[in-house]
Amino acid sequence: IGTAIPWFILDIAFYGTGLYSSPIIAPIFGSPFPKSATVLPLSVFQGDLAYALFLGAVPYLVGFPGYFTAVALLDKLGRKVIQIQGFTMMAIIYLLVSAVMIVTYTSKGPKVSGFLIPAEAAFLLYALSFFFIDFGPNTTTFVIPAEVYPVRFRTTGHGISAASGKLGAAITTYLFPTLLTSMGIKNLLVMLAVVSIIGALLTFFFVPETKNKSLEEVAKEELVTPTTTAKQ
């Protein structure tokens, strides 16, 4: 419960906000590649492709320093603390971004048309969620299962936890387009905030802290030192 479900929840948030971030970023940046009715079809395709890559890369670039922050503080704050604060900050940011969105309803469903705060501030707020994903569960959900299980169950426990995360990624990839159309990104962010809070609670109640402990101490295993008897 403490390792598999938080990883499942992480990948829902990570892939959901990563793969489908354009409804938030597009109203802020617009298209960096203006389209024209006179351009060649190949140029249109190249522009669309570059635009998609641009929208997909920006949040990850902003969040990337979170990895280094997590690595630097992993043994100072502890895995459990970093994972809890990561999930908590994700939930807070998702709720704030949802709260400042201006949504209009069209025949194709809800669409973000603007923000109650400056667009640049909205983008910075949204990008911070990627920072806390990396300075949080995206780092620790991989580390914790490798430390909390006894040796004989460690690979199995880590494998089940990782598989749970990939299941969350698969479900997100399959369902998010439908949910995005029916619910809109505003309500989806509220949903992601709720599951992030669940991730923080599960971590708090079910994950032991492994900071400054050996693997044997964490797994409650006893070190047995082999002895030999010399025969004359």
What's the rounded Cα separation, in Å, for the pair 163 and 169?
10
How many CB atoms lie under 10 A from the CB of residue 34?
A: 8
| 106 Cβ contact partners less than 8 Å away, ≥ 6 residues apart | none
CB 54 within 8 A of CB 216: no
pLDDT the model gives residue 152: 85
What's the rounded Cα separation, in Å, for the pair 210 and 79?
7
Strand 109-115, strand 101-106: pairing: antiparallel
* Matching CATH number, 4-218, of 1.20.1250.20, 1.10.3720.10, 1.10.940.10, 1.10.490.10: 1.20.1250.20
Average pLDDT of every residue of the chain: 83
Instruction: Determine the average pLDDT of the residues in 25-51.
Output: 57
**153-194 pLDDT, tens digit each:** 889 999 999 999 999 999 998 888 888 888 888 899 999 999
Instruction: Determine the average pLDDT of the residues in 55-83.
Output: 89
Cα–Cα nearest to 147, from 198, 202, 212: 212
| 136 Cβ contact partners less than 8 Å away, ≥ 6 residues apart | 66, 70, 82, 83, 85, 86, 87, 89, 90
Q: Which two tokens stand for residue 158?
A: 């880590």
pLDDT the model gives residue 48: 64
pLDDT the model gives residue 229: 41
What's the rounded Cα separation, in Å, for the pair 57 and 187?
23
Choice among 138-142, 157-161, 183-187, 201-205 with the minimum mean pLDDT = 183-187
- The sign of the CA dihedral 55, 99, 129, 160 is negative
Say which residue, 123 or 208, is predicted with more confidence.
208
What's the rounded Cα separation, in Å, for the pair 27 and 201?
34
Does position 121 have pLDDT exceeding 90, yes or no? no
Q: Which two tokens stand for residue 91?
A: 């939930």
- For the chain, the structural domain boundaries read 4-218
β-bridge mates for residue 28, sequence order: none
pLDDT the model gives residue 66: 94
Determine the residue type at 82: I
**41-54 pLDDT, tens digit each:** 556 556 666 666 76
Instruction: Determine the average pLDDT of the residues in 225-231.
Output: 43
Write the DSSP symbol of residue 225.
-
Does position 205 have pLDDT exceeding 70, yes or no? yes
Q: What is the pTM of this model?
A: 0.84
- Per-residue confidence band for 59, with pLDDT thresholds at 50, 70 and 90: confident
Rg of the chain in Å (alpha carbons) = 22
Choice among 73-87, 91-105, 171-185 with the minimum mean pLDDT = 171-185
- Per-residue confidence band for 130, with pLDDT thresholds at 50, 70 and 90: very high
Does position 68 have pLDDT exceeding 90, yes or no? yes
Determine the residue type at 185: I
